[in-house]
Structure formats: C-alpha cells, structure tokens
Amino acid sequence: TGTVNISGGTVGYTNTGAQSISLQTYNNLSLSGSGTKTFASGTTNLTGNLTFGGSATADAITNTSTIDYSGSGAQTVGAMDYYNLTLSNAGTKTFAAGTSRIANTFSITGSAAANATANSATIEYNGAGAQTVNAVNYHHLTLATSGTKTFAAGTTGIAGNLSLTGSAAADATTNSTTITYNGSGAQNIGAISYHHLTLDVSGVKTFTGATSIAGNMTISGSATADATTNSTTITYNGSTAQNVA
C-alpha cells in the first residue's frame, strides 16, 4: 500500500491481458502486451515519457484519473483518452501523433508549455458537459459530444482545422479570446461566434458557414480569406466600434 517515487528507468506493464496501473510517480511508463491498462483513481505523475507497445490500450476514464506530466524537461504526451490532463513543472510537453481526448480538464502549470503541432496531433475535448479549451497552439482541434466548450482568455492558435461534432458548442466570446488560424496552407474556418479572429501565415482560409465577430478580424502574413465559396454570411456584432477586414 502507499506510493513510491520511481525516479529512474522504465516501468512496464507487459501482461497479455487487463492490468491495473498502480498510483505512483513514474519516470518512463510503458504499456505493452495486450489488454486494457487502467489507471487508478487519483493523480499519476510521469516525469519521463508514456509509450505504448503491442495492442495494449490505456483507460484513464473509468476511475476519473488525473495524468500529470510533471518532469522538469521535455516530455512526450501519449496519444490516449484522458480524464484530467495536467502539464506541470517545466519544459515542453509534445503531444504524440494521433488523437488525444480530454473528457474533463486540461491544465498547464509552472513554466511548462504544450506543443500540439510538431506531430500534427488532434486534441479533442469530448466531455459530456462544459469544458474549458486551453489557450495553446493546436494542429487539429475537435470539440465533441455535448456541452459548451469555452475558450480560455488569450490566444488560441489552430494550424489545421476546427471541428465540432455531436451537440457540442463553442464559446469564444465570454473570455474575449483571439482565435488565430495560423496554418501554412489552406484552412477551413469553423462556423462559430468569435471575439477576435485572426487569419495568419499563408494560404486561403475558407469560411464554412454563418460566422459572427464581436471584436476585430485581422488578416496578416500572406493569408487570404474566402467568404464566397460557401456563400457565407459574416456578421460583425460587437457593441463598440469594430475594424472590418
């Protein structure tokens, strides 16, 4: 019983069936073999990397677990379904290729930074209720299932696409968020209500449906806007003076 701090090496859960992952602080954690490896209730700290092998899968949902990448340097964030995901301490935490789903909270603390673009990762907020969308630079961002997904204050970058599925709704106005489409090529602009909307870097940014802007719309770099292909209506609906791009 109790917990230990495993400060070095790799701990591997390698069985050919279901396993429970002990609530510890791990350096590197490897899930391999086969079957579902279920995280315990509480916070599992990883100071190194999480890797997968064989046909093993991870379950951090059943016990509403928190996975905290708490190393003092660079780490790889495994592509899996999280309940609570925390990036803490320091260093850049780079999301692995594939889809990382977050059912509850995504927190960044200390001087840690998230990199969700290097491996073209998809981050999906898929809780059945309200969630806060962290202000980081995403490649693909999906808002799924149901509930209102509220963008945090600051600037959220999207280098790929913004997708809404199920009955999920986006709120980018409550916190006066700036959403920046900053891919180097063509992008589709999600049909939601924006506060500030920026089209940056390069490529054609195509509006996909009725879009409202409560703040300002800015076009920078060599990016261009296409609001005609989909016969889009853009509504500037702010309560004060606005700049029309």
Q: Are strands 92-95 and 234-236 parallel, antiparallel or unpaired?
A: unpaired
* Average model confidence (pLDDT) across the chain: 96
Report angle CA 43, 107, 12 to the nearest 5 degrees: 40
Which single residue is written with the structure tokens 């809780």?
Answer: 127
Which amino acid is it at 205? K
Are residues 48 and 28 in contact, defined by beta-carbon separation less than 8 angstroms? yes
Residue 105: predicted pLDDT:
98
Per-residue pLDDT at 7: 62
What pLDDT was estimated at residue 2?
Answer: 45
- pLDDT-based confidence at 1, cuts 50/70/90? very low
pLDDT at position 245 is 80
pLDDT at 5 over 60: no
Provide the 10 A C-beta neighbour count for residue 8.
8
- Alpha carbon distance 82, 127 (integer Å): 10
- Return the higher-pLDDT residue of 116 and 243: 116
* DSSP notation for 147-194: SEEEEPSSEEEESS-EEE-TT-EEEBTTTT-EEEE--SS-EEEPSSEE
pLDDT for the residue numbered 49: 94
Which is nearest to 87 in space by CA: 42, 145, 45, 142?
45
Burial of 229 by CB count in 10 Å (0-12 exposed, 13-18 middle, 19+ buried)? exposed
Residue 52 scores a pLDDT above 50: yes
Q: Please report the pLDDT score of residue 30 as a whole number.
A: 96
| 200 vs 41: CA distance, rounded Å | 42
Q: Which of 19, 165, 168, 160 is nearest to 151 (CA)?
A: 168
Residue whose C-alpha is closest to residue 50's, from 96, 117, 6: 96
* Interval 219-227 mean pLDDT: 98
Predicted local distance difference test score (pLDDT) of residue 8: 72
Alpha-helical runs (H) found in the chain: none
Per-residue model confidence as pLDDT tens digits over 147-190: 999 999 999 999 999 999 999 999 999 999 999 999 999 999 99
Q: Is residue 3's pLDDT more than 60?
A: no
**3-class secondary-structure state, position 143:** strand
Note the pLDDT tens digit of each residue in 26-47. Answer: 999 999 999 999 999 999 999 9
**Rounded CA separation 31/228 (Å):** 49
For the chain, give the number of residues.
Answer: 245
